[in-house]
Amino acid sequence: MAKEKKGEYRDVGKIAIYPGSFDPITYGHIDIVERALEIFDKVIIAIAENAEKRSLFSVEERLQMVKTIFKDTPNVIVDSFKGLLVNYVAKTNAKVSLRGLRATSDFEYEFHMASMNRSLNTHLDTLFMMTSKDYFFVSSRTIKEVARLGGGVEGLVPDLVVRRLKEKFKLPVAKKKQIGWDD
Ligand code: ADP
């Protein structure tokens, strides 16, 4: 029974883990989290530390951004993990790994990952949520490419992420008024 096991997030209802690189987090990811909160009591956003995968933002930077974005949403927990997802999941009470699907091109990779995770841990199910029609073309990779070349990504990522991207690529950060924020 859950109560007899040790772990940080036990006995708090239905929990889903949303693993990914989140390099950086986009409104596509945020939309999935918000919709998942309609189904689950808690969502753990688990940022993967993957030494093999070159990331733009360090894990600390990604954690800081995601924590700030969800600071007023207590049922979202933001964490990072190294190594196998199934080993991280074992430390929680989650039985579901949440993934977003943007297009059929995502499906094959996701199907293989979900099947492998299921074979490593038969208690772990993967739940796929379809992207919102507003964000099906949004990926962290294209956001980084566009931002690096000076294109506007406002409306596709939170303002905090827009600022962090500009800082990374040494582009001028617009003053609040110039980008039409309310003071
Ligand atoms: P990965 O590094 O495995 O590609 P990401 O960190 O980019 O994963 O994203 C984590 C999860 O969020 C993945 O399941 C991915 O398919 C999903 N995702 C990314 N962008 C979107 C989007 N625009 N709409 C819905 N789901 C998305």
Q: How far is the CA of 5 from the centre of ligand 1 (A)?
A: 31
Helix axes 59-69, 159-168, angle to 10 degrees: 160
Query: Which residues form ligand 1's pocket by a CB distance below 6 Å?
Result: 20-22, 26, 28-29, 32, 99-100, 102, 106, 131, 135, 138-140
- pLDDT above 80 for 11: no
Amino acid 181: pLDDT: 47
Surface-to-core class of residue 9, CB atoms within 10 Å of its CB (0-12 exposed, 13-18 middle, 19+ buried): middle
Grade residue 183 by pLDDT with cuts at 50, 70 and 90.
very low
Q: What is the mean pLDDT of the chain?
A: 88
The residue whose two tokens read 């490419």 is: 145
Please give the structure tokens belonging to residue 32.
């999935």
- What atom in ligand 1 is closest to the CA of residue 100? 26
Q: Are the C-beta atoms of residues 94 and 16 closer than 8 Å to each other?
A: yes
65-92 average pLDDT score: 95
Q: How far is the CA of 140 from the centre of ligand 1 (A)?
A: 8
Under 8 Å CB-to-CB from 135, ≥6 apart: which residues? 26, 27, 28, 31, 102, 156
Q: How far is the CA of 102 from the centre of ligand 1 (A)?
A: 8
- pLDDT above 60 for 7: no
What does pTM read for this prediction? 0.87
CA-based torsion, 30, 76, 61, 172: positive or negative: positive
- pLDDT above 50 for 1: no
**pLDDT digits 0-9 by tens, 96-111:** 999 999 988 888 999 9
Grade residue 67 by pLDDT with cuts at 50, 70 and 90.
very high
Supply the DSSP string of 120-177, one letter for each residue. Answer: H-TT-EEEEEEPPTTTTT--HHHHHHHHHTT---BTTB-HHHHHHHHHHTTPPPPPTG
More confident residue, 55 or 106: 55
